[in-house]
Structure 1
Amino acid sequence: MSDQTSQKSAPGTSKEGFFARFIRETEIDTRLLGMLGALALIWVGFHVYGQLVNGFGAFLTPRNLWNLSVQTASIGIMATGMVLVIITRHIDLSVGSVLGFCAIIMGVMQVNILPQFLGLGHPLIWIIAIIVGVICGGFIGAFHGALIAYGKIPAFIVTLGGLLVWRGAAFLVARGETISPVDESFSLLGGGPYGAIGSTGSWIIGILGCAAVLGLIIMGRRKRSVHDIRQRPVWAEGFLALVGCGAVIGAVLLVNAYPWPRGIVRRYAEAEGITVPEGGLFISHGFAIPVLILMAVAIFMTILMSRTRFGRYVYAIGGNPEAAELAGINTRFMTVKIFALMGALTGLSAVVASARLGSATNALGTLDELYVIAAAVIGGTSLAGGVGTIYGAVLGALVMQSLQTGMVLIGFDAAIQQIVVGSVLVLAVYLDILYRSNSK
């Protein structure tokens, strides 16, 4: 009787549906599928709407998708840090203001301070400015974390105060002025025709990405074999390899399909002594530097969260803070480090945002805290703590930016955009509650 029961409940029986078996064998996160489905629906919906209303679809074009990737970079970088903050049952409402303050500090360093000591156009100016901006963000985050951990002030109150304090501090430092122009090398970090790596560089990144996908699958099989864990079927591994490499190659083809504008091509050809043929000269943008920065941050944060003691401590604190402290984890110092990391990532995001704008303004980063929190929550980070992924936050940032870009393309005014973004945030939290209740 017990043998019959075990046979009926064993995985892979005939009663199990194809989709359920597919998910089980490939071990794909269902939330990831949901986010990808929502993203595809948003992209196709905006494109079709544009075709019906305007006679042409402007969303699913290389130009728009390339710009979308650049616009996502700043929010995505901060969202990877917000995952850690929310996992540990905190919140950070100050990231937009801290971004603006760090951008102003870097702008002042480049325009007013460093040229006096190093000389105008010195190659170290932009490097020093970036280091100062990231360190400034890290110190601000550590200060917030110390107030939360050792001062026992709720994170909501500390970061709400930071939202006001650092926005005001940015105004005082810049005296309400726009700081410009930033260093030419610094501005390349914001994207644009010269702030991209071109066709050849993008293919190199693509080949490395495919090699990484295959390497991870092979290493995963070896690790499962060492620890005597059930292996995925060969067809499932092949499917994951095919999808992963296909996505990488598709991204390379997409960014290489977006050419430089004709005016910039003409000026570049004149400067380099290149003869432009009658049909024009096609020069691919390739991957933008901000997107590469986001990729590097996402990889680093994923390794940090999945392969280090620090990451295990973060999930342990989020799962049960009291139990984590009884287990010997210094939860207070961990809180300081988490907020310091959030601040440093905000400083790095300020680099991308101000470089893309070509200047530093007091309004830079306004309402970014909303988009960052929404990106993390949409990406599957639970406000109840203990659950969250880096790749989910990046996809969440892409979803949020896709909504904003799509509404701009079809002509929605700012008021409607805010209504939609706020509604999506509430819906994401509601879906998280339903998901957790069904998982119990």
Structure 2
Amino acid sequence: MTDVTTPAARPRRGWKALDLDTRLLGMIGAFIVIAIAFDIASGGRFITPRNLFNLTIQTASVAIMATGMVFIIVTRHIDLSVGSVLATTSAVMAMTQTSLMPDVLGLGLGHPLTAWVAILFGIVTGAAIGAFHGYLVGYLAIPAFIVTLGGLLVWRNVAWYLTSGQTIGPLDETFQLFGGINGTLGVTGSWILGLAASVITLWALFAARRNKISHEFPVKPMWAEVTVAAIAIGAILGFVALLNAYSVPSRVLQRNFAARGEVMPEGFTQGYGVPISIVLLIVVAIVMTVIAKRTRFGRYIFATGGNPDAAELSGINTRMLTVKIFALMGVLCAISAVVASARLANHSNDIGILDELRVIAAAVIGGTALKGGIGTIHGAIIGALIMQSLQSGMAMVGVDAPLQNIVVGGVLVLAVWIDIVYRKRTGAKD
């Protein structure tokens, strides 16, 4: 009997040994091209600490919802109501702070519990709305498109009735900290966060390599691991340095010193640092990634999206899974409402308008397959950043709003086409 052995796979050489995600690199490259193009067109105003700081806090709300939209689309559903659910939860939180707490509980703005009770009410409301949508889709078999299209109309107008069509504000100062400009970590706190993130990144890379070795899987050459670690840490610390470079205006500093009865020292400067809204986005991204990759719930989501019939036959309760996914989407809408309304310092009737399209576009541009089964959390966040960069850049160079929407629509269609071509060439499953 002839002994036939399979030759060992040739080790990758050069940059291929880094084993980087080509889709991720493509999205990062697209963002860099967009940033450079708008910087040239705006006369050097796009790539500045101030504009990039504003870009991050404008992206946060959509990016948080985009992480949930990944799960929705992966399971072959769609949610057109996220902008309206955001509006309703924002209205609930605003009314809690300005009416319910003072009138019923006797606790007004500035009380330590006001912001947290409002956020709790908003999250519970979002979860209830999402679970209701999931019940209609999962148990009554109404298509998600129809359920959430109805939700788009219903919840937008529920928000209007809750506030009688009025702008509600100002909101609690603690609540406003989640908006970005009103709440940052400061320079020192941002560097501490950056160093902690760098240590965690090193530990994660080391743990992943050790896990592969223990299971006798192939690993990257050590130089490739060090290079990937250096790139990741460089990106983290560079991001922190960029946000720290945006200084608080001197008039704001003078006002802060005056409020404390002090005189601002001559030449005193202070950087904003990382916004609390971005910290919240990072926490959401980590939690959603862990859910997707490390939990039974996440495995059920991708199994159901890959083959719903097989998932149901294998014992997965796909109907309850649908309820849970939509409930999670509702919670993320409420968290996004915190960020969006805190950034504005009030609740307005037009909050969240067209966010459903931005969120879906962010998930799709980030590589989530509309046929289900494929999607990443980090891809959706980068997709949200690309969408916001396009809109902010066009506004900066004076592009009319209708043309902005035309461009965004064209980019969405182009992204889907590129995704189809990519999957065909790489042999990825739809």
- Which of the five TM-score ranges fits, normalised by the shorter chain? over 0.9
Where do 1:15-414 residues align within 5 Å?
22-23=15-16, 25-51=17-43, 57-116=44-103, 117-121=105-109, 122-192=111-181, 194-278=182-266, 280-414=267-401
Structure 1 residue runs of 5 or longer lacking an equivalent are 52-56
Cα deviation digits, residues 264-314 of structure 1 (max 9, x gap):
110112233544343x32111000011110010001101111111111111
2:176–2:342 Cα contact (<8 Å) kept: yes
Structure 2 residue runs of 5 or longer lacking an equivalent are none
Q: Distance in 2 between matches of 1:420 and 1:232?
A: 41
Cα 1:102–1:3 change in 2 (3 A) is same
Q: Distance in 1 between matches of 2:162 and 2:52?
A: 36
Task: Report deviation, 1:50.
Answer: 1.5
**Number of the residue aligned with 2:10:** 11
Q: Distance in 2 between matches of 1:272 and 1:307?
A: 48
Cα 1:392–1:3 change in 2 (3 A) is farther
Secondary structure at the counterpart of residue 172 of structure 1: helix
1:118–1:125 Cα contact (<8 Å) kept: no
Task: Report deviation, 1:410.
Answer: 0.6
Q: Distance in 2 between matches of 1:3 and 1:282?
A: 74
Task: Report deviation, 1:12.
Answer: 3.9
Cα 1:3–1:428 change in 2 (3 A) is farther
**TM-score, normalization: structure 1?**
0.93
Where do 1:417-432 residues align within 5 Å?
417-432=404-419
Task: Report deviation, 1:27.
Answer: 2.2
Task: Report deviation, 1:120.
Answer: 2.0
1:258–1:286 Cα contact (<8 Å) kept: yes
Secondary structure at the counterpart of residue 42 of structure 2: helix
1:377–1:428 Cα contact (<8 Å) kept: yes
Q: Distance in 2 between matches of 1:120 and 1:163?
A: 32
Aligned length, in residue pairs = 424
2:97–2:108 Cα contact (<8 Å) kept: no
2:170–2:346 Cα contact (<8 Å) kept: yes
1:115–1:125 Cα contact (<8 Å) kept: no
Match for 1:203: what amino acid? Answer: W
Cα deviation digits, residues 3-50 of structure 1 (max 9, x gap):
99976x94348xxxx6xx523x22211100100100000000100112
Cα deviation digits, residues 219-257 of structure 1 (max 9, x gap):
011111211111111011001110011011101111110
Identical-residue share of aligned pairs (%): 53
Task: Report deviation, 1:123.
Answer: 1.5
Q: Distance in 1 between matches of 2:236 and 2:301?
A: 30
RMSD: 1.7
Match for 2:15: what amino acid? Answer: F
Task: Report deviation, 1:102.
Answer: 0.7
**Number of the residue aligned with 1:54:** none
Cα deviation digits, residues 367-408 of structure 1 (max 9, x gap):
000000000000010001000000000100100011111011
